[in-house]
Structure 1
Amino acid sequence: MITIENLGLAPRLHPISCQLNGSQLVGIIGPNGAGKSTLLSLLAGQLSATQGRVAFGGDNWLEASALRRRQSLSFMPQQPHADGALTVAAVLQVGLVNLSLSTAVTAEIARVTELLALQPLLQRTMASLSGGEQRRVHLARALLGDLPWLVLDEPIASLDIHYQLQMMELLRAQARTGKLVMVALHDLSLAARFCDTLLLLDQGVLRAVGEPAQVLSDENLAAAFRIQARWLCTEQGVGWLPQLLQDTD
């Protein structure tokens, strides 16, 4: 569980507060420029907050050492980078070295390789992969070490619909093992279908937090996205038909 208290980075993110439990897939949603990446980067230690506190494991996470961060949180930025000349296997091996894990390298690489179906790509260079294939490699790297807290910024960007569904199933399964998985998403139908909790950001303000049905209300969609939507809910999943709000002036 983490408790966020008045966490902010002026002027990009106004102070926000909320409490998030483990064993959850938490979706961070909002329009472009809403502050999603800023929030995740603050939690990952990539940016320094101008105010606030984050309690995790009994400590103020914002003051945690680099070693403690590496042992507890895995971060996938919006635009991850790896040397294009490296093979996929080498990228994963470097990830393990950076984590300073005692786990057997071969066994851990085999675990994430199987999770992301990367076996055919292991000996290919990163430069030879498509954008979606590279995304899967970076997600596999984020899963190295089986850490309790995953912070992923648009991990399904560039993926086709097959892999989007597969990755969301995987992330939900990761949460069910006890992890707190936080993921920035643009597809609201996938957020509604797979996430346990949503945080809706708008212009740097936390507009709503709660279950998807509560957060994705007509009022919130209109205020944050300037849209209205008809939701289609079945036993197989959730879909929606969004449309622009009509000006009433």
Structure 2
Amino acid sequence: MTLKVERLGHSTRLQEVSFAAQPGELVGILGANGAGKSTLLQLLCGVLEPDAGQLTYQQRDLTQISAYERRQLLGYLPQTPVAEGGIRVDHFLQAGLVNLHLSCPGKELNRVVETLQIHALLERTLDKLSGGEQRRVHIARALLGDHNWLLCDEPTTSLDLYYQLQVMAVLRAQADRGKLVTLALHDLGLAARYCDRLVLIDKGRLLAEGAPAAVLTDANLAQAYKIKARWLCTDEGVTLLPSLLS
């Protein structure tokens, strides 16, 4: 039941990134802009084909799985979803049920609506929503199907502080239910607070991977982000006060 990424590479960004992850883990993919986070997620979900390396999930070579099978296997939230214009939110979510083997699709739709608290948005059209509201709707669609593996590229983009915490709590709960959740994140405080494992990429190469405390070291942050950091820790979690390297 392990995800294994071995020396995975792609000519646009990624070079020889390797790590393993288990069901029940929330894995954060970190790195500066252009480091290769989105490329890695696109390779994992099959949007891109790797130039090198091996990618296996549950002992299956993911490059040999059809698009239809991937749809059953995983849920994916891209960094920039395709614009859907004037489609109503409820219709947009219903379209996400296509090609999913569900005995009660209506029940599944109600589950994600409740989970993301988007009842008030259902009869509105996507083009009339704020950026944060659209993001919550797209997250809801990625959750449809109750997949064992969820990939999210910057799920907290455009969200205010309340909904950032809500979305991270939802994703944490997915992992606690035994699912593998893999996210690209920019917010290091959220990554340290919610993730079990971090994968830090620098210029397309793996810089560090492991528990948050082992990855978010002064040396790694200086190399990957060109910052120094002060961490504030409380019983509720941690947050980061960054400053530029002098």
2:42 paired residue number: 41
What is the rounded CA distance, in whole Å, between the counterparts of 2:127 and 2:227 in structure 1? 39
1:167 paired residue number: 167
Cα distance, 1:69 vs structure 2: 0.5
Task: Give the aligned length.
Answer: 245
1:149 paired residue number: 149
Query: Taking structure 1 as the reference length, what is the TM-score of the superposition?
Result: 0.96
**Counterpart of 1:14 in 2: which secondary structure?**
coil
Query: Taking structure 2 as the reference length, what is the TM-score of the superposition?
Result: 0.97
Percent of pairs with identical residues: 53
Task: Return 5+ residue gaps in structure 2 as ranges.
Answer: none
What is the rounded CA distance, in whole Å, between the counterparts of 2:189 and 2:59 in structure 1? 35
- Residue pairs, 1:129-208, within 5 angstroms: 129-208=129-208
Whether contact under 8 Å (1:26, 1:183) holds in the other structure is yes
Letter in 1 for 2:184: A
Task: Return 5+ residue gaps in structure 1 as ranges.
Answer: none
1:50 paired residue number: 51
Cα distance, 1:102 vs structure 2: 2.5
What is the rounded CA distance, in whole Å, between the counterparts of 1:200 and 1:100 in structure 2? 33
Whether contact under 8 Å (1:196, 1:211) holds in the other structure is yes
- Residue pairs, 1:1-249, within 5 angstroms: 1-97=2-98, 99-246=99-246
What is the rounded CA distance, in whole Å, between the counterparts of 2:12 and 2:121 in structure 1? 42
Cα distance, 1:81 vs structure 2: 2.1
Q: Deviations for 1:219-242, whole angstroms, at most 9, x for unmatched residues?
A: 000111111111111101101211
Cα distance, 1:105 vs structure 2: 2.1
What is the rounded CA distance, in whole Å, between the counterparts of 2:162 and 2:114 in structure 1? 17
Q: Deviations for 1:124-151, whole angstroms, at most 9, x for unmatched residues?
A: 1111100000000000000000001111
**Counterpart of 2:56 in 1: which secondary structure?**
strand
**Counterpart of 2:16 in 1: which secondary structure?**
strand
Q: CA RMSD in A?
A: 0.9
Cα distance, 1:82 vs structure 2: 4.1
Cα distance, 1:110 vs structure 2: 0.3
What is the rounded CA distance, in whole Å, between the counterparts of 2:120 and 2:77 in structure 1? 22
Q: Deviations for 1:197-249, whole angstroms, at most 9, x for unmatched residues?
A: 00001100110000101100000001111111111111011012111111xxx
**Counterpart of 1:26 in 2: which secondary structure?**
strand
Letter in 1 for 2:28: G
Whether contact under 8 Å (2:100, 2:145) holds in the other structure is no
